[in-house]
């Protein structure tokens, strides 16, 4: 049987080899038949590189996912307009799974007012290791561009703005516009254009991280988060001169699940300001000052409805500021501020360490209203330090028709920064109690709950 099998196997392999070889020759000649003759192939244009026998190079971003803005034409000399390069790099990184836009160290990039739009494929990182800056002042700002904002991130889900670089807002020429506060004689303002851009704004975006950056001299607000959810700000450093107008460090509006941790904010307005529609906000380990302190509000302007709840400010230092922790509302508004906790705070030479002001007004001719934003369930605990003797250490000025309720103080100790005179707290239509000894004593708080609240539905949110 063996002598018969071997020839049959040889015959089988010989037959397959012939068939394969014939098919290969057929396909080769068929392909060649449809290829143009060499004489018909157009030569490369003059100056074009000669064709290479090497395989084409792989896209450098396919494996790394890092999109260096210089590769897209950015110069980084601080004078050249690099806007288009950044927009092109953004578009490329946005289509990449977890793409990284790299702003390299050692370069200064000037960018015009720009909106970076999502959604992106799978999250995006904006890595700022160099310097970003806008045009230098109103006169160099293109007339076609919005003067309300500089860098806007719109409809982004899962983004990180991070790095060890600097965002320089070049704000001085904006602060010196004649319309700005105290620019005119005797502290007045003068007529003229007044719009100034917010440095960085996130709008209708979720799952955001801002970390490690240094922001200096913003023309107006440094950061603004509007209609955002799940925001984490950590280890940032914001600086602007004490008299720079409206340079709020971080402003949030209609935002929830916001965490602001381990940061230093020194500016000319609120370190952190919390607007209407915010809830579930945690602020921890902030060094604030100089500036206007940490504020909830202003709320209820132009008879509007405002709701703010579940806000915590803890383990922070506030020094050399006009205010410490403040809640401010306009007369005539509606809605409610509730569930607010200020805990374990150190005050150093603060003019108004603890303040509720339901008569907030920027002019002298504001009228009292019969309605107001209800302020209730406010807790102050373990707040110690010194205050500027020009004002009382605690100030509770509440609406005539909608009193403040359930104000609780525990372990509060505030002493004058200079001298020995301890001023009494100020209260107006404020209800509450203290759980432990406070210095100075807050004997002006009213006990119980006012009857008028039982008939008032303005505070429903």
> Annotated active-site positions, please?
292
Separation CA 357–CA 408 (nearest Å): 16
Separation CA 426–CA 118 (nearest Å): 50
Least Cα distance to 104 among 130, 132, 72, 75 occurs for 130
- The tokens of 386 are what? 């010194």
Separation CA 394–CA 351 (nearest Å): 10
Separation CA 266–CA 332 (nearest Å): 32
User: Which residue intervals of 312-373 are DSSP H helices?
Assistant: none
Contacts of 118 (CB under 8 A, 6+ apart): 94, 124, 153, 154, 155, 156, 157, 159, 205
CA separation (Å) from 223 to 112, 235, 238? 17, 14, 10
Q: Spell out the SS3 assignment of 222-257.
A: CEEEECCEEEEEECCEEECCCCCCCCCCEEEECCEE
| Beta-strand runs (E) in 3-156 | 66-68, 77-81, 99-103, 108-110, 114-117, 124-128, 131-133, 149-154
In our burial notation (b when 16+ CB lie closer than 10 A, e otherwise), range 182-221 reads ebeeeeeeeeeeeebbbbbbbbebbbbbbbbbbbbbbbbb
Burial class for 102, CB neighbours closer than 10 Å (0-12, 13-18, 19+): buried
CB 93 within 8 A of CB 124: yes
CA separation (Å) from 321 to 61, 130, 250, 339, 438? 48, 31, 16, 25, 22
């Amino acid at each position: 049987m063996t002598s018969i099998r071997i020839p049959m196997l040889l015959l089988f392999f010989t037959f397959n080899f012939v068939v394969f070889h014939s098919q290969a020759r057929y396909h080769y000649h068929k392909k060649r038949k449809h290829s143009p003759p060499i004489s018909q192939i157009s030569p490369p244009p003059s100056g074009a590189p000669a064709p290479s026998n090497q395989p084409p190079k792989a896209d450098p971003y396919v494996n790394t996912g890092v999109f260096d803005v210089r590769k897209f034409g950015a110069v980084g000399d601080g004078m050249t307009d690099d806007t288009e390069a950044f927009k092109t790099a953004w578009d490329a990184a946005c289509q990449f799974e977890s793409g990284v836009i790299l702003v390299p160290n050692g370069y200064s990039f000037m960018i015009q007012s720009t909106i970076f739009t999502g959604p992106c494929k799978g999250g995006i990182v904006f890595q700022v290791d160099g310097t970003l800056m806008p045009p230098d002042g109103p006169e160099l700002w293109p007339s076609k561009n919005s003067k309300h904002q500089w860098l806007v991130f719109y409809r982004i889900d899962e983004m990180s703005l991070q790095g060890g670089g600097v965002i320089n807002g070049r704000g001085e020429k904006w602060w010196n516009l004649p319309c700005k506060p105290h620019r005119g004689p005797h502290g007045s303002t003068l007529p003229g254009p007044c719009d100034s851009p917010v440095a960085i704004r996130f709008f209708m975006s979720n799952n955001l991280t801002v970390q490690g950056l240094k922001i200096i001299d913003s023309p107006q607000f440094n950061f603004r988060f509007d209609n955002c959810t799940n925001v984490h700000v950590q280890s940032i450093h914001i600086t602007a001169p004490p008299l720079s107008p409206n340079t709020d460090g971080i402003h949030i509006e209609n935002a929830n699940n916001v965490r602001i941790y381990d940061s230093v904010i020194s500016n000319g307005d609120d370190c952190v300001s919390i607007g209407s529609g915010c809830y579930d906000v945690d602020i921890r380990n902030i060094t604030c000052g100089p500036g206007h302190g940490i504020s909830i509000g202003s709320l209820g302007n132009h008879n509007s409805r405002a709701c703010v709840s579940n806000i915590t400010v803890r383990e922070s230092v506030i020094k050399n500021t006009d205010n410490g922790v403040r809640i401010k509302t306009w007369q005539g508004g509606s809605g409610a501020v509730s569930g607010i906790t200020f805990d374990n705070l150190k005050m150093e030479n603060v003019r108004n360490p603890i303040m509720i002001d339901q008569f907030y007004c920027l002019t002298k001719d504001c009228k009292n209203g019969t309605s107001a934003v209800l302020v209730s369930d406010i807790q102050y605990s373990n707040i110690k330090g010194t205050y500027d003797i020009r004002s009382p250490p605690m100030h509770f000025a509440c609406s005539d028709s909608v009193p403040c309720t359930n104000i609780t103080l525990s372990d509060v100790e505030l002493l004058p920064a200079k001298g020995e005179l301890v001023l009494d707290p100020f209260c107006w239509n404020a209800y509450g109690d203290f759980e432990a000894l406070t210095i100075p004593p807050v004997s002006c708080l009213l006990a119980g709950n006012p009857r008028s609240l039982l008939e008032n539905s303005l505070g429903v949110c």
